[in-house]
């Protein structure tokens, strides 16, 4: 599916991801950031895809052979009867545009790469918002998003999720042997569905692979916190 | 256009969905449809039989995902699945005259450059399927649902080279007429038709109504038969149910009857009722004649350039007389070539010539690599330029799109080696008007050679519009034949043969003063004589200006928009260096002003400044200041990189003055490890290392351990930098370090990447954990402190 609304890149979000800690960027960087955001915006063709599966014993997804493993996802889905799989991609063109930029300016490439990651996250939020609304009109409730590789949920799960969703055919999203989503500016996530309000339990930083290096955590921005 | 795949005079009916039918027969979500060939073969035969009874002339065997990549992790083998699946279909065909297609779908993994799957590996996977399909008794091969032209090319090439069966190819488009990978209908036709597909089509993704305008475009662009297999409309996102009934589907298909389409069937959501309805629809009709319009065009995967006006060809990727490029190519570094490609594209080139014929270079190895590297960063069509036929063959294999081959001549032997190659890979060709007795003096003699080249090209099966003629520019100062003969020959070829022409422009002024004037004047005359493809340096703005003015005067620039756009004054805010106290160069670098830093360096050198003094006295202090700011958190990554790039630009100016060797420091190898494609971190480190004088050998991304070991050995590097961004690719990093140690290499290894930690780095045997690019410079300086 395509999005009906076009989201402008969240510039503050890009700067924050580059470590600006809320500080303003200089005029030159601002100008280049504008160019980078524009290029990403032009290239991005966001599409998303979802499907729901009843949760069986051992967190099996419907009648498939896929089960969700790990303590963190079990905690997140506690009290949920089924799970919504979400996959989203900005498409291949941002990738090509970033490669092209790299051939002449690493700086521009870095700005574009960060802008594209930020934009993918924004569209994931938007998809989640729409799905939440849709679910709630049916009298059901959604948890937040939980992605493979997060906490102790293995990243290798990407392969199964994309097969269940028919990701390559439906939105051109596939996964490499190493579990890298391709195109790279893509997100997959699981959201629990329950007949009563659920918050889910995001894994928190303790299990996070980025625990030692995460700039965000050091600055007190926990992605584990429920977003507003 | 008729051929053996689809019968003459009547529509050929293809079958409908297989997946939809399998799901109805109880296939579980996420399960492999190929398993059904063993668990429920009679079900499959039943489905095929239902389609044949409905009227299908061709049924697709249940082999869509029967490739080694998708079957990995199961106990199924490619040959067993294909054998069984084709048997099921053949059984259904018995006594009916219906034919079986080996169905080949995408591999499910993205190819290079976006993904990590190499073109050659994709080819092998498809070759395995094709050979098994022919052995199992399939009547034809149907490659379908492709979205990546490169993957479709790999499959088609494999099918042509590993079977004798006819091959039909269809791709899936979105309503905007492009696939997920950005391939247009025209780009598909430009590449796959000439590569030898027997029919081209569109399947899946959309319903008949949405595919209709795309099919119309395909009929115009394809030199083959055309077919469609639309979905039953659009699916409901949550239930997956499609919205068209058989009757409604059929109603939407009426538009195909007079389009030039000669075969039709269904894709997702269709069933035998849909095919029955189609059979009723087509029974009183015969396909309209081909609507193909031949055009001279060249293409990449995502761009088609029609040669219906002046199309400048960038000449700069050619090492002749360029020491810098020669050295880069000799060391296997293709990033210099990539920036030349990107620069020429932004200067307005429409096509790029790629020549890597430098001393000490194995062109057969290097030309295909260069083609892949350029196509990774630039979507302009390429001219593959080599005098070595084997190198051209290797490059033609991996080129994605329809290229132009540079070149054959009128020499018999040359034509007999080059023309069949162009036919085999679906390329256009340049014919040089010279033969065994050299370059003739007169226009008439050159014209005669051009005529003969065209004749031979047609004899080898090329289409007329794919033959381009170069009447050869000779230096005006050389005496003998005057450039006037070149111009007259160009005019003759253009007017009499109607072929597209090309000329290298700047040769004409060789050895003369004020060369730009002579070049410009010659260009004007040549354009007037009918030159389509001037080969030039698009960075020479006077030449590009000349073309713009010519187009304006000749009415080739509607409303003069391009001309006016070109000369509209662009106001760039005068950038002012922030650090007023420092000397200008130093300040320019600190402020990250790239162009200004380069011109200031040039000025200083012209005033007699010494290059090394500038490096040590201006550039290094500037970089140190910025680096310290970055570490203290007062400057951020974009600014660090802006300064690094400004320093790099200044360094280039100095390097050009000195020649390379005097300034080159010790080598450092950098690579993103096997299986990983995140390379921005590595590229940041590279720029910074280069700033400090290191000769960085960048092996790229997804690099196997043995390549890294070989490079470390060859260059005698004391430092190897490895990057990995995924928990799943850290083992490859560990393996690479182990491989370096096993070889007994004394080099140090530094590692970086988001998921790495100091302790993990030490555990896998790295010498340095570098948390950012600055740290990689510190490591390099520490190791090489005596030499710098």
pLDDT in tens, B484-526: 999 999 999 999 999 999 999 999 999 999 999 999 999 999 9
- The average confidence (pLDDT) of chain B is 93
Per-residue model confidence (pLDDT) at position B663? 62
pLDDT of A7 > 80? The answer is yes
Token digits of residue A102: 């790299």
B374 lies within 8 A of chain A by CB: no
- Helix residue ranges, H only, B55-109: 68-71, 78-93
pLDDT of B786 > 60? The answer is no
Question: Residue A26: its chain B contacts at CB < 8 A?
Answer: 578, 639
Are B638 and A209 a contacting pair at CB < 8 A? no
Interface A:B, Cβ pairs < 8 A: 168
A105 lies within 8 A of chain B by CB: yes
Round to whole Å and give the CA distance between B700 and B376.
12
Q: From residue B397, how far is each of B364, B391, B486 by CA, in Å?
A: 12, 10, 33
Question: Residue B756: its chain A contacts at CB < 8 A?
Answer: 213
pLDDT of A101 > 60? The answer is yes
Round to whole Å and give the CA distance between B152 and B120.
13
Span A18-27, average pLDDT:
89
Per-residue model confidence (pLDDT) at position A227? 36
Span A181-209, average pLDDT:
84
Do residues B639 and A26 make contact, with C-beta atoms less than 8 angstroms apart? Answer: yes
pLDDT of B386 > 50? The answer is yes
Are B675 and A28 a contacting pair at CB < 8 A? no
**Among residues of chain B, what percentage have pLDDT more than 70?**
97
Q: ipTM beyond 0.90?
A: no
Candidates A4, A168, A183, partner chain B, best to mutate (most B CBs within 10 A)? A168
Q: How many CB atoms lie within 10 A of CB B633?
A: 11
Strand positions, DSSP E, B557-693: 667-672
Banded model confidence at residue A206, pLDDT cuts 50, 70, 90: low
Are B109 and A177 a contacting pair at CB < 8 A? yes
Round to whole Å and give the CA distance between B133 and B83.
7
Are A178 and B108 a contacting pair at CB < 8 A? no
- Lowest pLDDT segment from B293-307, B346-360, B534-548, B605-619: B605-619
Round to whole Å and give the CA distance between B157 and B141.
12
Per-residue model confidence (pLDDT) at position A21? 84
- Lowest pLDDT segment from B372-376, B477-481, B712-716: B477-481
Peptide bond into B531 cis (omega under 30): no
pLDDT of A6 > 70? The answer is yes
Name the minimum distance, in Å, from the CA of B150 to any CA of chain A: 14
pLDDT, tens digit, 9 for 90 and up, residues B219-238: 999 999 999 999 999 988 77
Q: Which of A226, A169, A177 is nearest to A203 (CA)?
A: A226
Are A179 and B726 a contacting pair at CB < 8 A? yes
Span A98-110, average pLDDT:
93
Peptide bond into B164 cis (omega under 30): no
Per-residue model confidence (pLDDT) at position A225? 46
Banded model confidence at residue B2, pLDDT cuts 50, 70, 90: very low
Round to whole Å and give the CA distance between A168 and A161.
11
Smallest Cβ–Cβ distance between A106 and the set B115, B636, B684 belongs to: B684
Are A28 and B592 a contacting pair at CB < 8 A? yes
Question: Residue A159: its chain B contacts at CB < 8 A?
Answer: none
Per-residue model confidence (pLDDT) at position B743? 92
Round to whole Å and give the CA distance between B522 and B655.
33
Q: How many CB atoms lie within 10 A of CB B320?
A: 10
Per-residue model confidence (pLDDT) at position B325? 86
pLDDT of A200 > 60? The answer is yes
Span B54-75, average pLDDT:
95
- DSSP class per residue in B199-254: EEEEESSS-HHHHHHHHHHHHHH-SSEEEEE--SS-B-TTT--B---HHHHHHHHG
Banded model confidence at residue B153, pLDDT cuts 50, 70, 90: very high
Which of the 8 DSSP states describes residue A150? Answer: S
pLDDT of B437 > 70? The answer is yes
Higher-pLDDT residue of A150 and A35 is A35
User: Per mean pLDDT, which of B409-418, B667-676, B765-774 is the most reliable?
Assistant: B409-418
pLDDT, tens digit, 9 for 90 and up, residues B547-596: 999 999 999 998 999 999 998 865 455 555 555 555 689 999 999 999 89
pLDDT, tens digit, 9 for 90 and up, residues A61-90: 988 889 999 999 999 999 999 999 999 999
Q: From residue B32, how far is each of A64, A88, A160, B81 by CA, in Å?
A: 11, 23, 12, 11
Per-residue model confidence (pLDDT) at position B581? 53
Higher-pLDDT residue of B525 and B726 is B525
């Amino acid at each position: 599916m395509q999005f009906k609304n076009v989201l402008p890149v969240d510039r503050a979000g890009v700067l924050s991801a580059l470590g600006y800690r809320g500080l303003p960027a200089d005029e030159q960087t601002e100008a280049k950031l504008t160019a980078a955001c524009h290029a990403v915006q032009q290239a991005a063709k966001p599409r998303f895809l979802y499907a729901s599966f009843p949760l069986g014993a051992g967190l099996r997804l419907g009648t498939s052979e896929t089960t969700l493993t790990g303590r963190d996802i079990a905690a997140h889905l506690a009290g949920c009867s089924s799970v919504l799989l979400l996959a989203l991609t900005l498409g291949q063109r941002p990738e090509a545009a970033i490669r092209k930029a790299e051939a002449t300016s690493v700086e521009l490439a870095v700005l574009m790469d960060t802008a594209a990651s930020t934009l993918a996250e924004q569209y994931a939020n938007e998809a989640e918002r729409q799905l939440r609304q849709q679910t709630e009109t049916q009298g059901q409730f959604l948890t937040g998003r939980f992605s493979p590789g997060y906490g102790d949920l293995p990243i290798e799960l990407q392969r199964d999720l994309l097969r269940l969703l028919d990701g390559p055919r439906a939105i051109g999203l596939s996964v490499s042997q190493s579990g890298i989503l391709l195109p790279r500016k893509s997100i997959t996530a699981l959201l629990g569905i329950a007949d009563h309000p659920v918050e889910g339990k995001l894994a928190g930083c303790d299990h996070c692979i980025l625990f030692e290096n995460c700039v965000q955590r050091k600055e007190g921005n926990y992605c584990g916190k429920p977003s507003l | 256009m008729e051929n053996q795949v689809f019968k003459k005079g009547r529509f050929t009916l293809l079958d409908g969905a297989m997946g939809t039918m399998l799901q109805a027969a109880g296939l579980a979500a996420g399960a492999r449809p190929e398993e059904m060939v063993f668990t429920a073969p009679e079900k499959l035969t039943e489905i095929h039989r239902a389609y044949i009874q409905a009227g299908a002339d061709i049924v697709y065997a249940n082999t869509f995902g029967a490739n080694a990549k998708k079957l990995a992790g199961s106990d199924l083998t490619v040959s067993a699945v294909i054998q069984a699946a084709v048997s099921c279909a053949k059984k259904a065909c018995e006594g009916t005259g219906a034919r079986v297609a080996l169905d080949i779908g995408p591999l499910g993994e993205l190819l290079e450059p976006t993904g990590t799957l190499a073109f050659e590996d994709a080819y092998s996977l498809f070759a395995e399927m094709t050979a098994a399909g022919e052995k199992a008794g399939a009547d034809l091969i149907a490659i379908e649902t492709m979205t990546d032209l490169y993957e479709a090319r790999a499959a088609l090439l494999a099918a042509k080279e590993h079977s004798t069966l006819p091959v039909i190819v269809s791709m899936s488009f979105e309503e905007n007429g492009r696939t997920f990978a950005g391939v247009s209908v025209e780009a598909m036709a430009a590449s796959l038709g000439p590569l030898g597909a027997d029919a081209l089509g569109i399947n899946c993704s959309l319903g008949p109504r949405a595919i209709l305008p795309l099919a119309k475009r395909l009929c115009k662009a394809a030199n083959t038969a055309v077919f469609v297999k639309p979905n039953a409309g659009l699916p409901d996102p949550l239930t997956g149910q499609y919205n068209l009934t058989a009757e409604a589907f059929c109603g939407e298909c009426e538009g195909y009857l007079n389009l030039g389409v000669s075969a039709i069937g269904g894709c997702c959501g269709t069933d035998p009722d849909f095919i029955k309805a189609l059979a009723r629809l087509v029974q009183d009709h015969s396909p309209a004649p081909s609507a193909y319009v031949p055009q001279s065009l060249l293409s990449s995967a995502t761009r088609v350039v029609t040669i219906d006006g002046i199309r400048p060809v960038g000449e700069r990727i050619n090492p002749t007389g360029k020491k810098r490029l020669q050295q880069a190519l000799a060391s296997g570094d293709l990033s210099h070539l990539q920036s030349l490609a990107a620069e020429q594209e932004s200067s307005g080139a429409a096509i790029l010539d790629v020549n890597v014929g430098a001393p000490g270079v194995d062109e057969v190895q290097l030309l295909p690599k260069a083609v892949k590297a350029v196509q990774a960063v630039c979507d302009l069509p390429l001219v593959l330029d080599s005098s070595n036929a084997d190198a051209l063959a290797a490059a033609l294999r991996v080129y994605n799109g329809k290229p132009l081959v540079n070149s054959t001549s009128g020499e018999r032997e040359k034509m007999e080696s080059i023309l069949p190659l162009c036919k085999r890979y679906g390329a256009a060709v340049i014919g040089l008007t010279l033969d065994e007795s050299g370059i003739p003096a007169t226009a008439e003699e050159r014209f005669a050679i051009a005529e003969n080249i065209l004749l031979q090209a047609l004899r080898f099966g090329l289409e007329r519009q794919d033959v381009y003629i170069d009447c050869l520019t000779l230096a005006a100062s050389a005496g003998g034949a005057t450039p006037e003969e070149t111009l007259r020959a160009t005019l003759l070829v253009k007017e009499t043969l109607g072929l597209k022409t090309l000329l290298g422009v700047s040769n004409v002024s060789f050895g003369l003063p004020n060369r730009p004037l002579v070049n410009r004047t010659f260009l004007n005359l040549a354009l007037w004589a009918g030159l389509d493809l001037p080969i030039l340096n698009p960075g020479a703005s006077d030449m590009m200006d000349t073309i713009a003015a010519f187009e304006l005067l000749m009415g080739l620039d509607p409303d003069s928009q391009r001309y006016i756009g070109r000369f509209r004054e662009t106001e760039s805010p005068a950038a002012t260096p922030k650090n007023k106290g420092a000397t200008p160069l130093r300040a320019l670098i600190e402020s990250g002003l790239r162009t200004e830093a380069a011109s200031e360096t040039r000025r200083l050198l012209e005033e007699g400044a010494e290059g090394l003094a500038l490096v040590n006295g201006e550039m290094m202090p500037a970089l140190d200041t910025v680096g310290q700011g970055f570490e203290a958190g007062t400057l951020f990554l974009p600014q660090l990189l802006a300064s690094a790039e400004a320093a790099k630009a200044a360094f280039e100016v100095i390097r050009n003055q000195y020649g390379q060797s005097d300034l080159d420091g010790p080598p450092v190898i950098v690579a993103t490890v096997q299986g990983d494609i995140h390379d921005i971190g590595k590229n940041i480190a590279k720029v910074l290392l280069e700033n400090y004088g290191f000769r960085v050998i960048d092996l790229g991304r997804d690099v196997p351990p043995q390549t890294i070991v070989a490079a470390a050995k060859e260059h005698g590097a004391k430092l190897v930098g490895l990057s990995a961004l995924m928990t799943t690719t850290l083992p490859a990093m560990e393996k690479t370090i182990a491989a370096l140690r096993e070889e007994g290499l004394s080099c140090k290894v530094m590692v970086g990447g988001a998921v790495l930690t100091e302790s993990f780095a030490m555990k896998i045997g790295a010498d340095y954990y570098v948390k950012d690019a600055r740290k990689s410079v510190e490591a390099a300086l520490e190791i090489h402190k005596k030499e710098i």
